[in-house]
Amino acid sequence: MPREGSAADVRRKQDRLRALSRSPQLGEYALELVANERHAELLLAALAALGESPPAAAHDALVRRYEEFERAGRQRDAGGLVRAALIRAMEPIALPGDLPLLARAVEVHEPSPHDAAAPTGLRAAALATMLRLDPELASYHAAVMLHDQRRTSQFTGEPAATAVRVLAAAGEEVALVGFALGGGHPEVLAECLRQLRSVPSPVLAKVVGAARGAASDETVGLGLCDLFVRHEPDGALRGQMVQFMRHEATPELYHYLAAAIVAERRDDLLEALGEAAREETHREKLKALGEALEVRRGDPAVEALAEAVRKRQARS
């Protein structure tokens, strides 16, 4: 038997995890590793093996292991990957008594030369879990995270992007409107646009106007496309979508939005798409539109528009 903690021992346990991947015994063995394993990579593999529905019996072990890594901090868990995985595993079975632990976790800041905002994954996981237990408390923490640029990753926008989803789930769209109008990290702004659901039309028009000014960033442009598809394109919003497609949208964004509209199979969106296409002369945009419509070739709902696009392409 290999010595406990040796490379051979870790390899043996990894092999056993893989061998049990389709066995009813996997959960039991994974929980054994979660409760006792010190090797970080193997612990992460065991947490992944627990899946999205860990047994309630895993709760105390997850809390105990989190507190163990919490005490050691970055010395044992640089970047917070293990602590984040432990909290994600805990989320489905979290209990009200876990709130103090989660409140500590959303405040952890361990900057490194590689990531001044670290550990963003840990704070995001803690916030998402807090939402399950106390939406109001989670909303307050999310509002702080949303505007904490110093502790927001320049690369992923986390944990602010998670804060957007938490605020949306808690019905706090006013906070999202405020952020969207002020602008910010592209990933976070795009997520704000996606999560807006019940904003009054005049306010939504102002949000879209502000976002169009930032749509030269493709990430923001994608979020704006998703917003257009998720709302009824009537009145001002329809006009803004048409103008966006004609002026700000790159051929890539044009294709993304056109393909999404075609896939939605909604008459109101198809009418707006037809209006945008009516005066389109950009060769690459016409090509993108033709490709998007091709997936429904022969469908009477789009055939007239598809035929008009094909004729215009032939002339260009």
Residue ranges of the domains in the chain?
Answer: 232-316
Cis previous bond, 54, omega within 30: no
Long-range (24+ apart) CB contacts under 8 A made by 52-61 are: 52/92, 53/92, 54/27, 54/89, 54/90, 54/92, 54/93, 55/27, 55/31, 55/93, 56/93, 57/31, 58/31, 58/34, 58/89, 58/93, 59/90, 59/93, 59/94, 59/95, 61/31, 61/34, 61/35
Report d(CA 48, CA 15) in Å as an integer: 15
25 vs 34: CA distance, rounded Å: 14
Dihedral, CA of residue 217, residue 223, residue 226 and residue 231, to nearest 10: -110
Residue 134, token pair as written in the block: 């106390």
**Type of residue found at 203:** V
- DSSP symbols for 79-125: TSHHHHHHHHHHGGG--GGGHHHHHHHTT-----SS-TT--HHHHHH
Summarize pLDDT for 257-285 with one digit per residue, the tens: 999 999 998 888 999 999 988 888 889 99
Q: By the 8 A CB rule, do 227 and 259 touch?
A: no
pLDDT tens digits for 15-29?
A: 999 999 889 899 899
- Closest by CA position to 225, among listed 180, 187, 256: 256
Tokens at residue 25, please?
Answer: 């015994």
DSSP characters over 234-285: -HHHHHHHHHIIIII--HHHHHHHHHHHHHHT-HHHHHHHHHHHHT---HHH
* CB contact set of 177 (below 8 Å; sequence gap of 6+): 196, 199, 203, 207
What single DSSP character describes residue 156?
A: T
Q: Is 41 helix (H, G, I), strand (E, B) or coil?
A: helix
- The first and second tokens of residue 169, run together, are 């789930």
Distance from C-alpha of 234 to C-alpha of 213, rounded to nearest angstrom? 21
Cα(60)–Cα(155) distance, rounded to whole angstroms?
34
- Contact (CB, 8 A) for 99 and 138: no
pTM of the predicted protein model: 0.91
Long-range contacts, stretch 23-28, CB < 8 angstroms, 24+ apart: 27/51, 27/54, 27/55
Question: pLDDT tens per residue, the chain (316 residues)?
Answer: 677 778 888 899 999 999 998 898 998 999 999 999 999 999 999 999 998 889 999 999 999 999 999 999 999 999 999 999 999 999 999 999 999 999 999 999 999 998 999 999 999 999 999 999 999 999 999 999 999 999 999 999 999 999 999 999 999 999 999 999 998 999 999 999 999 999 999 999 999 999 999 999 999 999 999 999 999 877 889 999 999 999 999 999 999 999 999 999 888 899 999 998 888 888 999 999 989 988 888 888 788 888 888 887 777 6
